[in-house]
């Protein structure tokens, strides 16, 4: 197993107004954790920008034109989402970081070389690594096909999933443990059976989507698995949900690649939510995803940062997650505390909603 962090010093240049939660200091945390990884001999890669063609696989043309039109300007896109003069270029690198991971893990897009050149696709390459973690901002999972929201411009995880399908992956799982539901990722793939979207999130909460009954549409029925959780859930609650729901569905789906929307804002110190997770809990979930990826898809795993707004908590979570994904901490103390009613209620609701689709 080989692992790389993909990030850029340019992520600090996305600058929402003073006092905004998604502040440039988050990029400074990512840079420090990435440099510590490199100082231990780890691989650190620069991202390439996403191409227009790659973005168009998940975003509408008019939307792409509108976001490109913000280049060089400070623009308020919705009550929470802003650009600064450098944000467009930085957002292209954020989406491109996940695609850089896909390039290195799956190899070249499955297109004729002349077509690749016409599309501005990267030069051909063979797989080089097994796992990657893209440290990026702005985050992406709230961005819909035609709408920026929730601090997000381009949907980084969805763009990576579409890129993986273009490179020959038959099935891709996107697992989202950000405290907020990834409405953008859900709707982009809501009727697509090639992409399993799994989300554990505080509910009811922003953005208002993610009820257990939202299970997909048409051919995509059953391929959206929402696990809405009451505020106050602990590490033990998340681990119980993972064991009862997330891991069994991943195993039945059998992905060729797992992409993780890695938001750390369910941490007990995060100012924007009401969960009680710790870095140890996130490490347990990540370790399980590593084991599942080893069993099902030859270890192929891509993580991309989403939320996480307490800087010290973000530092702890990134450091421990990197250690787990890189194999530096292969055996962590198990979390065997009993779950609360919050978890058992959620498990029951999800089992009822997905009884026609999965064995749970």
Residues identified as active-site: 142
At CA 319, angle to CA 316 and CA 322, rounded to 5?
A: 140
CA torsion sign for 27, 33, 35, 38 is: negative
Tokens 């944000």 sit on residue: 87
CA dist 99 → 76, 155, 161, 279 (Å): 27, 12, 9, 27
Q: Which tokens belong to 347?
A: 């498990």
């Amino acid at each position: 197993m080989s692992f790389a962090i993909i990030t850029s010093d340019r992520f600090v240049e996305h600058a929402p107004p003073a006092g905004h939660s998604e502040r440039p200091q988050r990029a400074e945390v990512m840079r420090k954790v990435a440099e510590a990884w490199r100082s231990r001999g780890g691989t650190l890669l620069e991202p390439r920008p996403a191409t227009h063609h790659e973005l168009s696989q998940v975003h509408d043309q008019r939307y792409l034109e509108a976001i490109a039109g913000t280049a060089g300007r400070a623009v308020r896109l919705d009550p929470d989402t802003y650009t600064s003069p450098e944000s467009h270029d930085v957002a292209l690198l954020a989406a491109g970081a996940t695609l850089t991971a896909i390039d290195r893990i799956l190899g070249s897009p499955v297109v004729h070389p002349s077509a690749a050149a016409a599309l501005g696709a990267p030069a051909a390459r063979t797989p080089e690594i097994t796992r990657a973690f893209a440290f990026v901002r702005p985050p992406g999972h709230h961005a819909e096909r035609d709408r920026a929201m929730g601090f997000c411009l381009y949907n980084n995880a969805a763009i990576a999933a579409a890129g993986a399908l273009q490179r020959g992956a038959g099935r891709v799982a996107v697992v989202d443990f950000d405290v907020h539901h990834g409405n953008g990722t859900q709707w982009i793939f809501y009727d697509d059976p090639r992409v399993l979207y799994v989300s554990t999130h505080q509910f009811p909460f922003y953005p208002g989507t993610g009820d257990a009954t939202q299970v997909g549409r048409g051919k995509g029925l059953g391929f959206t698995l929402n696990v809405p959780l009451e505020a106050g859930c602990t590490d033990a609650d998340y681990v119980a949900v993972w064991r009862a729901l997330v891991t069994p569905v991943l195993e039945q789906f059998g992905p060729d690649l797992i992409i993780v929307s890695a938001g750390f804002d369910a941490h007990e110190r995060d100012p924007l939510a009401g969960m009680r997770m710790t870095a140890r809990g996130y490490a347990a979930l990540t370790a399980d995803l590593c084991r599942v990826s080893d069993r099902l898809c030859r270890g192929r795993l891509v993580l991309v940062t989403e939320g996480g707004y307490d800087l010290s908590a973000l530092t702890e979570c990134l450091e421990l997650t990197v250690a787990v994904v890189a194999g530096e901490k292969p055996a962590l103390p198990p979390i065997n505390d009993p779950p609360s009613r919050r978890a058992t209620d959620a498990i029951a609701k999800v089992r009822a909603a997905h009884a026609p689709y999965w064995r749970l």
